[in-house]
Amino acid sequence: MAFSRDYLTTYFQDDEMTARILNGKAVADELCNKITEIIAQYKVRPGLAVILVGDDEASKVYVERKKEKSLSLGMKGRILHMPEGSPQQILEAIQMYNTAPDIHGILVQLPLPKGIHTSQMIEKINPIKDVDGIHPFNLGKLMIGEPIYTPCTPQGCIRLLKHYNINPEGKRALIIGRSRIVGLPISFLLTHLNATVTLAHSHSSNLPQLLSEADIIVSAVGKPKLIGTNHLKPNVAILDVGINRINQQANNGQSVVGDVDFTPVSKVASAISPVPGGIGPMTVACLMYNTLKASFIQEGKTMPEQFFNF
């Protein structure tokens, strides 16, 4: 009888066991290459407008990445940088892009500065241009399993699981963090993929118990080392959505870390997405995908179905 891979995995467990690294950068590059091909083949020119309000340094970096990526794929990409404290101007900018024929996707970078009502801004976006997928209409469609635009980070998480053949069906999935852009929508997606979903948050009192039961963990909190090896079920698959900026000297020269204490946890988990190079690039690639999809919808073009399956 030939040895199965399962047999080998068990045999070499002990110290040697290390998790598969879920290489978001590589999977994102693959998706972006496909987007470039489709743009050339179907002769579309998707347009993305990103609205940045205020001077948050991290947000400036993120929006620049989104613009650069859209330009590199042959799309139109622009950033509208607005001062803090101007809700009326933001609403007017959104309305301008709602009616601009060359702009197919509008994204308001979050978080918005204090005092600006996020829902009011998001609800001003025409749902057909909401490539973030977070307008109540789009979240509702996602909730009932009929998404038009699947929010970018949750979509990136599911694409990564799919790429590595990690099937959530019948598994216990623990999501930590219930934000509008990550935790809440990914709870719908995993539910529709037949996982048994627990959505934990800052008021959850039994996190150790929940961790010990989870086959899949998605951490979207923003706390370095929130997840260590304590309480983890062996062979858990972990998607680390945290992006935390920390002092470089205190961390071997690394300035960005996730929520997971990567080195020790990778000896217990069966799969883990790194930070950087995991979910971050997937989020940007999925925004490009949604913007491409938006251009097909708004230009009345027939979509190649095998590609537009998210």
Catalytic residues: 66, 109, 132
Site string for ligand GUN, 270-309 (x = CB under 6 A): -------------x--------------------------
Of all residues in the shown chain, the one whose CB is closest to ligand GUN is: 110
Q: Which one, 40 or 246, has the nearer CB to ligand GUN?
A: 246
Is 107 an interacting residue with respect to ligand GUN (CB under 6 A)? yes
- Other Cβ atoms less than 10 A from the Cβ of 160: the count is 22
Q: Which one, 35 or 108, has the nearer CB to ligand GUN?
A: 108
**Closest approach of Cβ 52 to ligand GUN, in Å?**
10
Residue 216 belongs to what H/E stretch? strand 216-219
Is 31 an interacting residue with respect to ligand GUN (CB under 6 A)? no
Please state, in angstroms and rounded to a whole number, the distance separating the CA atoms of residues 232 and 227: 9
Q: Which one, 132 or 259, has the nearer CB to ligand GUN?
A: 132
Residues in the chain: 310
**Closest approach of Cβ 63 to ligand GUN, in Å?**
9
Q: What part of residues 62-81 is at the interface with ligand GUN (CB under 6 A)?
A: 62
Q: CB under 6 A: which stretch of 5-13, 22-30, 104-112, 165-173 binds ligand GUN?
A: 104-112
Asked if 61 and 50 count as a contact pair (C-beta separation under 8 A), the reply is: no
Spatial neighbors of 137 by CB under 8 A, at least 6 apart, are 127, 130
Q: Which one, 115 or 253, has the nearer CB to ligand GUN?
A: 115
> Measured in Å, how far apart are the chain's first and last C-alpha atoms?
41
Residue of 110, 143, 193, 303 interacting with ligand GUN (CB under 6 A): 110
Q: What part of residues 150-209 is at the interface with ligand GUN (CB under 6 A)?
A: 152-153, 181
Please state, in angstroms and rounded to a whole number, the distance separating the CA atoms of residues 94 and 151: 19
Q: Which one, 110 or 116, has the nearer CB to ligand GUN?
A: 110
Q: Which one, 132 or 215, has the nearer CB to ligand GUN?
A: 132
Asked if 36 and 73 count as a contact pair (C-beta separation under 8 A), the reply is: yes
> What is Dmax (Cα atoms) for the chain?
72
**Closest approach of Cβ 292 to ligand GUN, in Å?**
16
Residue 221 sits at the vertex; the CA angle it makes with 217 and 225, to the nearest 5 degrees, is 75
- Other Cβ atoms less than 10 A from the Cβ of 224: the count is 18
Peptide bond before 264: cis, by omega within 30 degrees of 0? no
Q: CB under 6 A: which stretch of 95-103, 106-114, 194-202, 258-266 binds ligand GUN?
A: 106-114
HEC string for 33-92: HHHHHHHHHHCCCCEEEEEEECCCHHHHHHHHHHHHHHHHCCCEEEEEEECCCCHHHHHH
Residue of 70, 109, 150, 187 interacting with ligand GUN (CB under 6 A): 109
Q: What part of residues 114-153 is at the interface with ligand GUN (CB under 6 A)?
A: 132, 152-153
Q: Which residues bind ligand GUN (CB under 6 A)?
A: 62, 107-110, 132, 152-153, 181, 283
